[in-house]
Amino acid sequence: MNGNTFGTIFRITTWGESHGPALGAIVDGCPSGIKLGTQDFIPDMTRRQGGNANSATPRKEKDLVQIESGVFQGITTGTPIALRIVNENTKSEDYAAYADLPRPGHADLTTIAKHHHRDPRGGGRSSARETAARVAAAVIAKKILQHFGIELCGFVARIGDLPIPLDAAKQLSISDLKKVTAENSLFLPLSEPASGDWIKLVTEAKASQDSLGGNIACMIYGMPSGIGEPLFDKLNALLAHGLMSLPAAVACEIGAGREASFQTGSAIRDPIGVSDGNLKVQGKKHGGLLGGMTTGEPIFLSVDFHAPTSIPQEIQTASMKTLQTETISVQGRHDSTPLPRAVPMVEAMVAITLVDALCRAGRVPEKLLP
Amino acid sequence: MNGNTFGTIFRITTWGESHGPALGAIVDGCPSGIKLGTQDFIPDMTRRQGGNANSATPRKEKDLVQIESGVFQGITTGTPIALRIVNENTKSEDYAAYADLPRPGHADLTTIAKHHHRDPRGGGRSSARETAARVAAAVIAKKILQHFGIELCGFVARIGDLPIPLDAAKQLSISDLKKVTAENSLFLPLSEPASGDWIKLVTEAKASQDSLGGNIACMIYGMPSGIGEPLFDKLNALLAHGLMSLPAAVACEIGAGREASFQTGSAIRDPIGVSDGNLKVQGKKHGGLLGGMTTGEPIFLSVDFHAPTSIPQEIQTASMKTLQTETISVQGRHDSTPLPRAVPMVEAMVAITLVDALCRAGRVPEKLLP
Amino acid sequence: MNGNTFGTIFRITTWGESHGPALGAIVDGCPSGIKLGTQDFIPDMTRRQGGNANSATPRKEKDLVQIESGVFQGITTGTPIALRIVNENTKSEDYAAYADLPRPGHADLTTIAKHHHRDPRGGGRSSARETAARVAAAVIAKKILQHFGIELCGFVARIGDLPIPLDAAKQLSISDLKKVTAENSLFLPLSEPASGDWIKLVTEAKASQDSLGGNIACMIYGMPSGIGEPLFDKLNALLAHGLMSLPAAVACEIGAGREASFQTGSAIRDPIGVSDGNLKVQGKKHGGLLGGMTTGEPIFLSVDFHAPTSIPQEIQTASMKTLQTETISVQGRHDSTPLPRAVPMVEAMVAITLVDALCRAGRVPEKLLP
Amino acid sequence: MNGNTFGTIFRITTWGESHGPALGAIVDGCPSGIKLGTQDFIPDMTRRQGGNANSATPRKEKDLVQIESGVFQGITTGTPIALRIVNENTKSEDYAAYADLPRPGHADLTTIAKHHHRDPRGGGRSSARETAARVAAAVIAKKILQHFGIELCGFVARIGDLPIPLDAAKQLSISDLKKVTAENSLFLPLSEPASGDWIKLVTEAKASQDSLGGNIACMIYGMPSGIGEPLFDKLNALLAHGLMSLPAAVACEIGAGREASFQTGSAIRDPIGVSDGNLKVQGKKHGGLLGGMTTGEPIFLSVDFHAPTSIPQEIQTASMKTLQTETISVQGRHDSTPLPRAVPMVEAMVAITLVDALCRAGRVPEKLLP
């Protein structure tokens, strides 16, 4: 029981079902002194909905985040910040048809095994809708990171079996990476062919009533060195915990990454040199982490997501009432690929994890004065 | 600070440096009623040292585990179990030469960034020597799993760029998998060519003063369904946390795994059928987890480890005292590949995570009576 | 930072300021299968407001508790339960006059020391208003206790220096104690004289623009034996933690209690006998706990509260802006004594603590089927 | 399960039974840079044994504390510090006679209810012997407090029904209080008559094969203001948690204390004035805490302990084997009153709690450089 809290000092607790009246997050451990208003949430909430946060004319805003506590006169007070998002568009009148038919590839059957009774509307608590609360909470985490000059940028690194040239992306400066991803939040135009191929892939998947998975990568810049808590709470481990808690996450890599496991020891070491009177790792092969602690260099990570299993193609299930097998087709307003929308979700778990790690290292005071 | 505890209800806390007098683990939250003696630790401690636990004539045992509390008359009492392992073979007289020269690819520089003062002998707390405490603690976790009929089996799935035929391994029954891995704890003879190629690879790496990374996989059998705590403590997330806290871990995959992220939605769904009057997932593509909870089917996971960076090849570092660059060659009793020895380490983190997840689900009583 | 969560497995997180838009609690770790509706909260919320929960014609209900998640078709689902209470009666237009004048005897000055920026309206997060969220959350905890046949009953045991005959109260059965306290939630008519004297005391205090503290006691019946987690999480310790977190709590006693510390060892031991084939403590001197674990006998506890410091009598403070001393008189809708209203608050912390202790002992399954 | 860890950031985990081979504590979250050697533990370990730490000729030292990790060249490294104390004087050959006869007034029966199987020798884990680990761990906490100029001093405030003049003690400066208590660690000679009466009381109790309880008080000086984490982790609540986890603790008071609950609101308020350009509480009635956070003034607290129940007087118990009642007399090397020896135990829980509270407020860096 009780897996709805993440973090130790900077700590978020989320609640809410897909088709309930609302959902939200309590952010506890946020320092006082941070400017925070409802407008701050719009860009990432828009990105999560698949919209273009940088477009001049954003569509009618949805998922407006209400701040119900912890902020006075537009500034955080240090008390828990309650964020609440009303579920407006809950077409659940027809859930009854599916209530007794667990959807293959979903959490339906395991939720029944765990709790017996459940809210079947739209996947209930197991819907990806819950990530709205994570993304909202992370807006606050990102503001704290910004105070310390830490920035992060997520992007789609692969759809299906078509990757971008990742090595090139890793070498970009934060401003270049942000520029390139901001121009088009859906497809990173690092590699024109790849981007074009992605559109083709997604179009084909949709046409065949199917869906695609892929990989989201994220770069972190500006972390001070020495952050992370060996042995069990190495920064790698904390990041992996957060990332693998995202819906449909099946694998992740942190720092030097999976590629490093194919190489020899001599190929993955960066030498140490002296810079401005301090010893410093010279190179980026190590991926920003050594021994589970930050080196001060950019940190790389990526997460693999499986394709959505909510597709119109028919599949066999069985009724919990009659114990007879039936064939279902999961209709709905589902994406052919969730990848672009998953970018802010990945950033969310990263941002929250980083702030908590800074807190545990005693780097975040209770009041952040300008 | 304070990252040396893992788990919430079933909880281990480890301590000790590579060349200190001893190291150990406190296992808190172990039910009473479990038979436990010093002999129980020998097989896994031997595997961790690279020995063959199943050989008829084991070499002189090292790393004997002392039980200092929590057991009375050979049976656990429910109080914390203190395990202690004396460091016997600590040739640290020559550490002085290296104390001021952080080793590239190691935690030396990040530890200094974090704590300024450190124990430089043999890597101190960041040495892989610390995994002895984890492996010892997990012997107790495995006994609890056994009580519930849960078994797990780790094995080397790749060395360098040479994998075993993993799909075949995933299909084996637990007894077959255990048999095949027990005959040779170092190299899984599922695929003769691969095994032979591994020996060649390792021999070549050693000859060129280099080292190899790879992948360790693990299968879990017999978990009841509905275990795992969404949202943030999905079993995937808890397993990833534990696995990515292992030394040199750079990536992991849980359940359906990385491969699933390359496939379409239609290709990764297992249908649901009826078996013995209960609804059940029919197939193994989902990898034993749906929505972060167990389905009752075997669970697959794997971890990628980078190659050891302690190799004789020279590399540049700098002196913390003089701020001059120097060239070092890290000699020592190091393996060309740690992969075979990492198998019980992976099993350790898995076993501890599973027991804690069962506890959180209220499935483990305080006393386990026979 | 982050002290707004209580409990480990059964865990509540509260949020909200006195004069913000709303306040609430997230209850995580509640089993599925419990009937829960908005009506269930009315009795304790009414008691907390000083009303008589048992009166035939309750006044217009305030503090209606909204259930925003975790319940489907009137039954808990095992996911986090979000409880929300709108702050309707927030006359904060005049807070500006006090914003720069910290009130002596309140948390104003310490909150400024901690967070610099704060919500000054009505005491912000430090207002006793926050206990509404605790009392609401505890309604769920009480339902779980009820499932296991565990009952508790709090009552005013002293106002100012006038106590009730506590020994007599301790000997009552749960039904008798509930009857006697239900008839009049304000004053326990165990001892007519005392009750009459209390009314006189309170009237006098009000007349002299002053206030009174006192003591709330609580009896717990039906706890199974062996609950509590030595060493640091003995049930005594967990209860004390919860109780001393209540506003104005200055002391507490648990089990044998303070009185026992004045007696000799021979006077406080209860013998052990045999009852229905089981060994059992014979007597109640030990107060229901031995070695921090329950004996199965009724558990006694009490909490001392200091008098409210929000009284019209003038006192010196100083302006944070001008650094000049000033004289203030804290007007408001304040009680001369909070004691009767504190009864459900004490019960709330006890109920939440007991459920979490049962969970930690593995006694609460994830689904409570009728 | 798992109640053997205390603290969140600065965190101790203890282990060990009274008559096992050893007992100890793991201190995790200690900053690097603190001088620490075996000698540092002697004074408090001696006080805990009832010896006079300030005597010129201490008796042969027992309970020598071994440091097994976390310290290099006499300075803490930031990794977990393992403290180990060998149990030398374990006369447990005769435990068999008592193994099946739970001692009234002890944890024997509740331990059996919890764990069924137990170590009966000398009370096992429930023996007051376990406090040796707490006192040892607190030596490190006190060193951290010292770094920040925070000092604490415990003393016996009552034996049986004979108190010292507590108000006078509360007014002393830390140096005066330390002087007065150091001259005689057993009996505080603040009030000659009381001290003389205590000796008489204890002598009489011993003569009648009985024992005495009482009260230990503690003053804390030098805490910065604003420390403590409302709502649930107010400093009052955290201190109460720690104190009520001590063996035989039955009640506690923190800050303004129990006495304040007998007074009117007007009598317990301290005015606020201006001192050196800062607003400051003027007076000590509030006891150093307001709203669960420190004011910067000295903090008062006290704990009531019941008398030891291990006394030679006979009492009825029953055999777990035969289910027949029997009469036992608990012989042993027991004190007539544990009060003097409990002083360092109270200080231990206070010191550990304060350091953790400072850590949570982000006031303790990972490295404490001189």
Looking at the predicted structure, is the pLDDT value of residue A109 above 80? yes
Q: Which amino acid is at D302?
A: S
Mean pLDDT over residues B149-172, rounded?
Answer: 91
Which one is predicted more confidently, A293 or B172? A293
Residue D51: what pLDDT?
Answer: 62
| Whether D261 and C232 lie within 8 Å, measured CB to CB | no
Task: Give the C-alpha separation, D208 to D201, whole Å.
Answer: 11
Residue B183: what pLDDT?
Answer: 62
CATH superfamily placement of domain D5-360:
Chorismate synthase AroC (3.60.150.10)
What is the complex's ipTM, to 2 decimals? 0.95
| Whether B367 and D115 lie within 8 Å, measured CB to CB | yes
Task: Give the C-alpha separation, B282 to B280, whole Å.
Answer: 6
**Considering chain C, what is the average pLDDT of its residues?**
90
Other C-beta atoms lying within 10 Å of the C-beta of residue D152: 25
**DSSP H or E stretch at residue D45:** helix D42-48
**CA C175 remoteness from chain centre:** 21
Residue D209: what pLDDT?
Answer: 94
Nearest to A295 among B110, B158, B256 (CB): B110
pLDDT tens-digit readout, A225-273: 999 999 999 999 999 999 999 999 999 999 999 999 999 999 999 999 9
Contact C337, C202 (CB under 8 A): yes
| D309 interfaces chain C, CB cutoff of 8 Å | yes
Nearest to A105 among B14, B241, B286 (CB): B286
Q: In terms of CA atoms, which chain A residue is nearest residue D231?
A: A79
Q: Which amino acid is at C11?
A: R
Digit-by-digit pLDDT tens for chain C (370 residues) are 789 999 999 999 999 999 999 999 999 999 999 999 999 999 999 989 876 544 334 344 478 999 999 999 999 999 999 999 999 866 656 677 778 999 999 999 999 999 999 998 888 999 999 999 999 999 999 999 999 999 999 999 999 999 988 888 898 899 988 888 776 545 554 555 566 788 888 889 999 999 999 999 999 999 999 999 999 999 999 999 999 999 999 999 999 999 999 999 999 999 999 999 999 999 999 999 999 999 999 999 999 999 999 899 999 999 999 999 999 987 665 668 888 899 999 999 999 999 999 999 999 999 997 7
Helices C131-147 & C339-360, crossing angle to 10 degrees?
50
Which stretch of A100-109, A181-190, B39-48 has the lowest confidence by average pLDDT? A181-190
**Considering chain B, what is the average pLDDT of its residues?**
90
Nearest to D362 among A8, A226, A365 (CB): A365
Task: Give the C-alpha separation, A281 to A276, whole Å.
Answer: 13
Q: Sort out which chain B residues have CB atoms less than 8 A from C360's CB and list them.
A: 9
Residue B332: what pLDDT?
Answer: 61
Mean pLDDT over residues A169-198, rounded?
Answer: 72
| Whether B231 and A255 lie within 8 Å, measured CB to CB | no
Mean pLDDT over residues D98-104, rounded?
Answer: 90
The reported pTM is 0.96
Which one is predicted more confidently, A262 or D195? A262
Residue B56: what pLDDT?
Answer: 37
Task: Give the C-alpha separation, D72 to D78, whole Å.
Answer: 10
List C-alpha distances in Å: B163 to A308, B160, B191, B214: 28, 8, 9, 8
Task: Give the C-alpha separation, D3 to C350, whole Å.
Answer: 18
- Give the CA-trace dihedral at C220, C222, C226, C228, to 10 degrees: -30
Task: Give the C-alpha separation, D310 to D329, whole Å.
Answer: 8
Q: Is the peptide bond before B83 cis (omega within 30 degrees of 0)?
A: no
Q: Which C residues 10-29 touch A at CB under 8 Å? A: 10-11, 13-17, 20-24, 26, 28-29
Q: Sort out which chain B residues have CB atoms less than 8 A from A3's CB and list them.
A: 228-234, 360
User: Distance (Å) from the C-alpha of residue D2 to the closest C-alpha of chain A?
Assistant: 16
Task: Give the C-alpha separation, D365 to B113, whole Å.
Answer: 12
Looking at the predicted structure, is the pLDDT value of residue B58 above 50? no
pLDDT > 70: percent of chain B: 90
pLDDT band per the 50, 70, 90 thresholds, residue A208: very high
Which stretch of A344-353, B245-254, B332-341 has the lowest confidence by average pLDDT? B332-341
| C291 interfaces chain B, CB cutoff of 8 Å | no
Phi, psi torsion values for D151, nearest 5 degrees:
-130, 155
Contact A242, A353 (CB under 8 A): yes
Residue D334: what pLDDT?
Answer: 61
Q: Residue A136, SS3?
A: helix
Length of chain D: 370
pLDDT band per the 50, 70, 90 thresholds, residue D55: very low
**Considering chain A, what is the average pLDDT of its residues?**
90
pLDDT band per the 50, 70, 90 thresholds, residue A96: confident
| Whether D366 and A361 lie within 8 Å, measured CB to CB | yes
Q: Residue C8, SS3?
A: coil
pLDDT tens-digit readout, D245-271: 999 999 999 999 999 999 999 999 999
- Domains of chain D, residue spans: 5-360
List C-alpha distances in Å: A114 to A13, B273, B358, D228: 20, 18, 11, 38
Question: Whose CA is closest to A154, among A162, A142, A143?
Answer: A142
- Helix, strand, coil percentages (3-state) for chain D, rounded to 5, are 30, 25, 45
pLDDT band per the 50, 70, 90 thresholds, residue A169: confident
| Whether C13 and A5 lie within 8 Å, measured CB to CB | yes
User: Distance (Å) from the C-alpha of residue D20 to the closest C-alpha of chain B?
Assistant: 6
Nearest to D254 among C107, C209, C244 (CB): C244
User: Distance (Å) from the C-alpha of residue A26 to the closest C-alpha of chain D?
Assistant: 14
Q: What is the DSSP letter of D229?
A: B
Q: Which D residues 229-268 touch A at CB under 8 Å? A: none
Task: Give the C-alpha separation, C139 to C347, whole Å.
Answer: 10
Residue A191: what pLDDT?
Answer: 53
Residue A57: what pLDDT?
Answer: 40
Question: Whose CA is closest to C136, among C68, C222, C232?
Answer: C68
Q: Which amino acid is at D170?
A: K
Chains with 3+ CB–CB pairs under 8 A to B are A, C, D
- Which of B110, B118, B234, B236 would you mutate first to test chain A, the one with the most A CBs within 10 A? B110
Which residues are within 8 A (CB) of C39 and not within 5 positions of it... i.e. 6 or more apart? none
**DSSP H or E stretch at residue D215:** strand D214-221
Task: Give the C-alpha separation, B213 to A253, whole Å.
Answer: 15
Which stretch of B257-261, D137-141, D172-176 has the lowest confidence by average pLDDT? D172-176
| A80 interfaces chain C, CB cutoff of 8 Å | yes
Contact C95, A131 (CB under 8 A): no
Q: Which C residues 112-141 touch D at CB under 8 Å? A: 112-115, 125-126, 130
Looking at the predicted structure, is the pLDDT value of residue B272 above 70? yes
Phi, psi torsion values for A83, nearest 5 degrees:
-105, 135
Task: Give the C-alpha separation, C170 to C185, whole Å.
Answer: 18
Contact C212, C340 (CB under 8 A): no
pLDDT tens-digit readout, A329-357: 876 656 688 888 999 999 999 999 999 99
Q: Sort out which chain B residues have CB atoms less than 8 A from A263's CB and list them.
A: 213, 306-307
| Whether C225 and D290 lie within 8 Å, measured CB to CB | no
Mean pLDDT over residues A167-174, rounded?
Answer: 89
Nearest to B213 among A263, A270, A286 (CB): A263
Task: Give the C-alpha separation, C155 to D294, whole Å.
Answer: 30
Pairs across A and D, CB distance < 8 A:
19
| C2 interfaces chain A, CB cutoff of 8 Å | yes
- Give the CA-trace dihedral at C337, A78, C81, A95, to 10 degrees: 140
Looking at the predicted structure, is the pLDDT value of residue D33 above 70? yes
List C-alpha distances in Å: C220 to B360, C170, C243, C347, C350: 26, 10, 14, 10, 9
Q: What is the 3-state secondary structure (H, E, C) of A258-314?
A: HHHHHCEHHHCCCCEEEECCEEEECCCCCCCEECCEECCCCEEEEEEECCCCCCCCC
